[in-house]
Amino acid sequence: MPVLIYKILLPAEWAAFEANGRFDGSPLDLRDGYIHCSSRDQVAGTAQRYFADVPDLVVVAIDAQTMGMWLRWETSANGGLFPHVYAPLPRAAVAAVHRIAGAASVDDVIPA
């Protein structure tokens, strides 16, 4: 079974990801120099922290193995280890797409 990491996207970001076949990052990702992702245990908290007021989200599950050396688990400001990807996310790495009606619904939609 693959190890999955999760990227939370706005619907327009997902549309661009699909159209381009890759995701180069959100403005925050581009500023920080890597694509911020979350583990399954972290994704709901990340959604609440950064997307609480956004009515529609797309959460993509990424097969971590496909990211190879570009994936690093690094300590965040709050002390947790988060997956960071130092390359564009290829569409082929997306294992699942979850359309979410708001951050509070993440745990109800994404399989445990």
Q: Where are the beta strands (DSSP E) in 1-92?
A: 4-9, 22-23, 35-36, 57-63, 71-75, 81-85, 89-90
Query: 93-106: buried (b, 16+ CB within 10 Å) or exposed (e) per residue?
Result: bbeeebebeebebb
Could you report the per-residue pLDDT of 4-17, keeping only the tens digit for each? Answer: 999 999 999 999 99
Q: What is the pLDDT of residues 15-61, one digit of tens each?
A: 999 999 999 999 999 999 999 999 999 999 999 999 999 999 999 99
Q: The whole model's pTM is what?
A: 0.95
Residue 89 burial (CB count, 10 A): 24
* Domain chopping of the chain, boundaries: 4-109
pLDDT at residue 72 greater than cutoff 90: yes
Q: Which two tokens stand for residue 58?
A: 């797309």
Residue 79 banded pLDDT, cuts 50, 70, 90: confident
Q: Are 102 and 54 in contact (CB under 8 A)?
A: yes
- 4-109 homologous superfamily: Protein of unknown function DUF952 (3.20.170.20)
